[in-house]
Amino acid sequence: MTSKLIGILPVLPTPFDQAGEIDLVAMGKVARFCIDAGAAALVFPGVASEYDHLSLEERLSLLGVVCRAAKGRIPVVSGGGKGTPEEIASKILKAKSLGAAVAMVLIPKQFEKDEDGALAFMLSIIEKAPGVDIILQNAPTPIGAGLSTESIARIVAASDSIRYVKEEVLPSGPRISGLKAAASAHLIGVIGGGGARYLIDEMNRGVIAAMPAAEITDIHVDMWNAYHGGDTEKARDLYMRSLPLLIIQTIYRMRLTKHILTQRGVLQNARVRAPLPTFDEFDVDELSVQLKSLSRILRIAPIKTAAA
């Protein structure tokens, strides 16, 4: 099942219809938008997909849509979500049967100061879901355990199935460098997190890929390609122009992602299930200004004039 992941791997949001139910048609539109934007793989579900607010049946239905859209074009990375090792392994195997090529496993907060417990947790999942490439996700508390670089390196060394690490604990830069220096031979690479807010530094340190949210996938792909094509000036310009929007995203998270995708005509509404702050009129006005400033560097899905 080895599938080398290189480039921008957007985490897809979950679209809901006006009644608050999952929208499978809209899910397909989001997946195709990211593919057309040049994504190297699609990630679903992740934290940015509101997976805590989806039933298992909903996750699998949505994942099936994503896998069908990506089939024969790019790989799909499926998040294992939360639960016991048995529950997570079961979800990984179901995702594999739908066509997901790689599984991402978050080390949960309960192992914040427990490397041995985190190792046992990972090995139990791997034992129960053999033959699947794993991305070990090291997220900061309270989302994840936020383990040290040394602990992550030892856990990676314990299993050939762990092919990637997604490092999100801040400051992520030194951690990425440390993981690369301590990497086991079977580790393909380190993946950047943080919503691409630190992407230039991550690329400088040699990440193999990055997992931002999906609303400006085309800009992130162009940034990645410019940097790796030797045009660092263009990459830095795109980074500086996109950063104000990503700073706003740190507050509004998935609501911001869906608002932008609505403005781009990919989604019909910006409904969320997660308990997130709402936009007021000043927020909407500021987002309109931000989008106008980005409109000339969006390759696909031009901005709509109507508010979300």
Domain boundaries defined on the chain: 7-232
The half-sphere exposure of 275 on its side-chain side, counting CA atoms within 13 A, is 0
270 and 264 Cβ atoms separated by less than 8 Å: no
CATH ID of 7-232, from 3.40.50.2000, 1.10.599.10, 3.20.20.70, 1.10.10.10: 3.20.20.70
pLDDT band, residue 308 (cuts 50/70/90):
very low
- Average pLDDT (41-46) is 97
pLDDT band per the 50, 70, 90 thresholds, residue 302: confident
Q: Is the pLDDT of residue 305 over 80?
A: no
Q: Give the tens place of pLDDT for each residue, 102-133.
A: 999 999 999 999 999 999 999 999 999 999 99
Helix (H, G, I), strand (E, B) or coil at 206: coil
Backbone angles phi, psi at 121, to 5 degrees: -60, -50
Q: How confident is the model at residue 3 (pLDDT cuts 50, 70, 90)?
A: low
What percentage of the chain carries pLDDT values higher than 90? 95
Q: Say what the pLDDT of residue 97 is.
A: 97
Closest CA to 215 of 48, 60, 101, 68: 48
249 close to 257: Cβ distance less than 8 angstroms: yes
pLDDT of the residue at 51: 93
**pLDDT tier at 4, thresholds 50, 70, 90:** confident
Question: Is residue 1 very low, low, confident or very high in pLDDT (cuts 50, 70, 90)?
Answer: very low
d(CA 263, CA 165): 33
Average pLDDT, the chain: 95
How far apart are alpha carbons 253 and 92 in whole angstroms?
25
Phi first, then psi: give them for residue 165, nearest 5 degrees. -125, 130
pLDDT at residue 83 greater than cutoff 90? yes
Banded pLDDT at 301 (limits 50, 70, 90):
confident
| Residue 108, both tokens | 């949960």
Contacts of 297 (CB under 8 A, 6+ apart): 219, 222, 238, 241
Q: What is the pLDDT of residue 306?
A: 42
Beta bridge partners of 258: none
> Cβ distance 65 to 32 under 8 Å?
no
Q: Over 50: is that where the pLDDT of 307 sits?
A: no
Q: What is the 3-state secondary structure (H, E, C) of 163-198?
A: EEEEECCCCHHHHHHHHHHCCCCCCCEEEECHHHCC
pTM: predicted TM-score of the whole model, two decimal places? 0.95
Angle at 34 between CA 29 and CA 139, to 5 degrees: 115
Q: Please say whether the beta carbons of 7 and 37 come within 8 A.
A: no
